[in-house]
């Protein structure tokens, strides 16, 4: 056989093998060119959207800081802002090491209904990238923002009366133990969840906990010097209502992370429809709350009061947080309007009882939070008795435990 014939045979064999290889490689190349699957895209979008919502909720810390600083005296400003910074910083670390494991121990239904611990820190992701599946890191970021919110609510209620070191102890205790345990009762699959109690984004689990903890602190610490003299009320007006208004507006915007983010999924048509309903209700309720609170205050005091309007809006936001996914737009307006009235009469009640709450944390977060939980049973498809039970048990838990801690401190 000639050398040319050998070369020709080798070339033919190589061309045949190349054709076979190309046929096998073509599907893989086409698959790579097609890009990620729909499931992976949905997974990525859900997690990125929740991350943005977590950022919005964390930014609410700025709103709380401005609101509390503006509604208090000038000399308390630095102390308030420093406490808010430590609320977030201490809260993040305590929730990372302890609180997250207490709130989500991973128990199956039928296990311990009241308390559990799933371990420290954040577990690695071992699931399948698909719609509705969350990375543990993203879930932690969203949940720790809620924990920080519960803690910072108390700052305004005890402004000007609590030593910084004692406040750090309180903040660690609330974010590392009190809030996660009551959060487990509902969101971690505990006994209230098994009974059917519903709190979509935390009217009770977050806001009522912070509000009633603030009430406990205000009672134990007593009023600021000069606030009540010889049985008479002496208002100590906030030094900067511009700051207070800015803070309230920041909080309102941050609530679009708080409530819509609690849907936890954003990649399907049904999810987006739910998110839009939630966002709309989150807009209508505070509008109604601001109007009702300001109008009633105008009637009682003879002039409109900006602080009442701001707190009425915040009360409306708190009230709609438990049920924003399950009520109609008109029902959201009703819930927000009632919340605004609850806030106003709550402020009047504190005055009568000589309890000093400079920013109205208890009426706004405590009372409006309880109303939000109960309203879920009135307007939603949930058992009213169970809603009343959960809306009372969780705040009582927060009040009793924090009253004991404040008394010790």
Three-state DSSP string of 29-49: HHHHHHCCCHHHHHHHHHHHH
Residue-level pLDDT at 245: 97
Pick the closest to residue 326 from 375, 361, 291, 359 (CA basis): 375
- Pick the residue with more confidence: 294 or 9? 294
> Residue 35: pLDDT band by 50, 70, 90 thresholds?
low
**What percent of the chain shows pLDDT beyond 90?**
74
Residue-level pLDDT at 142: 96
What are phi and psi for residue 232, nearest 5 degrees?
A: -105, 150
* Average of per-residue pLDDT across 105-125: 76
* Average of per-residue pLDDT across 248-266: 97
Pick the closest to residue 134 from 309, 287, 265, 277 (CA basis): 265
Residue-level pLDDT at 106: 76
pLDDT of 2 above 90:
no
Q: Reduce the DSSP state of residue 340 to 3 states and report it.
A: helix
Residue-level pLDDT at 108: 58
pLDDT of 32 above 90:
no
Residue-level pLDDT at 113: 84
Interatomic CA distance for residues 183 and 190, integer angstroms: 9
**Lowest mean per-residue pLDDT among 36-45, 230-239, 370-379:** 230-239
pLDDT of 67 above 60:
yes
> Residue 14: pLDDT band by 50, 70, 90 thresholds?
very low
Cα 97–chain centre separation: 19
Residue-level pLDDT at 392: 98
- Pick the residue with more confidence: 44 or 107? 44
pLDDT of 27 above 60:
no
Strand partners, 228: 233
Cα 170–chain centre separation: 19
Residue-level pLDDT at 93: 95
> Residue 236: pLDDT band by 50, 70, 90 thresholds?
confident
Interatomic CA distance for residues 370 and 211, integer angstroms: 10
Pick the closest to residue 359 from 400, 310, 300, 288 (CA basis): 310
Q: Reduce the DSSP state of residue 397 to 3 states and report it.
A: helix
* Average of per-residue pLDDT across 222-243: 87
Residue-level pLDDT at 230: 79
pLDDT of 20 above 90:
no
What's the alpha-carbon Rg for the chain, to the nearest Å? 27
Question: 164: part of which helix (H) or strand (E)?
Answer: helix 164-173
| Angle of helix 136-157 versus helix 164-173 axis, rounded to 10 | 140
Residue-level pLDDT at 21: 39
pLDDT of 28 above 60:
no
Pick the closest to residue 262 from 148, 134, 171 (CA basis): 134
Interatomic CA distance for residues 317 and 336, integer angstroms: 7
**Lowest mean per-residue pLDDT among 24-38, 108-122, 211-225, 244-258:** 24-38
> Residue 34: pLDDT band by 50, 70, 90 thresholds?
low
pLDDT of 31 above 50:
no
pLDDT tens digit sequence for 125-139: 887 888 888 899 999
Residue-level pLDDT at 225: 85
Mean pLDDT value across the chain = 89
> Count of CB atoms within 10 A of residue 102's CB?
21
* Average of per-residue pLDDT across 196-224: 96
CATH topology of domain 38-408: Ammonium transporter fold (1.10.3430)
* Average of per-residue pLDDT across 375-396: 97
Residue-level pLDDT at 287: 98
């Amino acid at each position: 056989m000639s050398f040319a014939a050998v070369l020709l045979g080798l070339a033919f064999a190589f061309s045949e093998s190349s054709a076979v290889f190309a046929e096998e490689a073509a599907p893989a190349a086409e698959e790579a060119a097609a890009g990620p699957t729909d499931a992976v895209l949905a997974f990525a979008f859900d997690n990125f959207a929740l991350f943005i919502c977590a950022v919005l909720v964390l930014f609410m810390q700025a709103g709380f800081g401005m609101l509390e600083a503006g509604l208090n005296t000038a000399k308390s400003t630095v102390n308030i802002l420093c406490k808010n910074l430590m609320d977030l910083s201490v809260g993040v670390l305590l929730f990372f090491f302890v609180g997250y494991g207490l709130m989500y121990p991973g128990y199956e239904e039928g296990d311990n209904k009241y308390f559990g611990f799933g371990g420290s820190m954040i577990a690695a992701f071992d699931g399948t990238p698909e719609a509705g599946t969350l990375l543990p890191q993203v879930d932690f970021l969203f949940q720790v923002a809620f924990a920080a919110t519960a803690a910072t609510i108390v700052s305004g209620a005890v402004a000007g009366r609590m030593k910084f070191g004692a406040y750090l102890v309180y903040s660690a205790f609330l974010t590392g133990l009190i809030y996660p345990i009551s959060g487990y009762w509902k969101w971690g699959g505990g006994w209230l969840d098994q009974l059917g109690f519903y709190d979509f984004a935390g009217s009770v689990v977050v806001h009522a906990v912070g509000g009633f903890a603030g009430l406990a602190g205000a009672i134990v610490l007593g009023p600021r010097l000069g606030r009540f003299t010889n049985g008479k009320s002496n208002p100590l007006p906030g030094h900067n209502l511009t700051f207070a208004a800015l803070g309230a507006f920041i909080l309102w915007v941050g609530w679009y992370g708080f409530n819509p983010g609690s849907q936890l999924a954003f990649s399907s048509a049904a999810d987006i429809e739910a998110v839009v309903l939630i966002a709309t209700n989150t807009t209508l309720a505070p509008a109604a709350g601001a109007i009702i609170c300001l109008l009633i205050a105008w009637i009682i005091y003879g002039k409109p009061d900006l602080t009442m309007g701001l707190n009425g809006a915040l009360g409306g936001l708190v009230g709609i947080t438990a049920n924003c996914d399950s009520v109609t737009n008109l029902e959201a307006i009703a819930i927000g309007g009632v919340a605004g009235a609850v806030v106003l009469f709550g402020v009047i009640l504190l005055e009568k009882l000589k309890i000093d709450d400079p920013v109205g944390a208890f009426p706004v977060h405590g009372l409006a939070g309880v109303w939000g939980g109960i309203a879920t049973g009135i307007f939603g498809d949930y058992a009213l008795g169970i809603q009343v039970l959960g809306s009372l048990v969780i705040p009582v838990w927060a009040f009793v435990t924090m009253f004991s801690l404040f008394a010790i401190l």
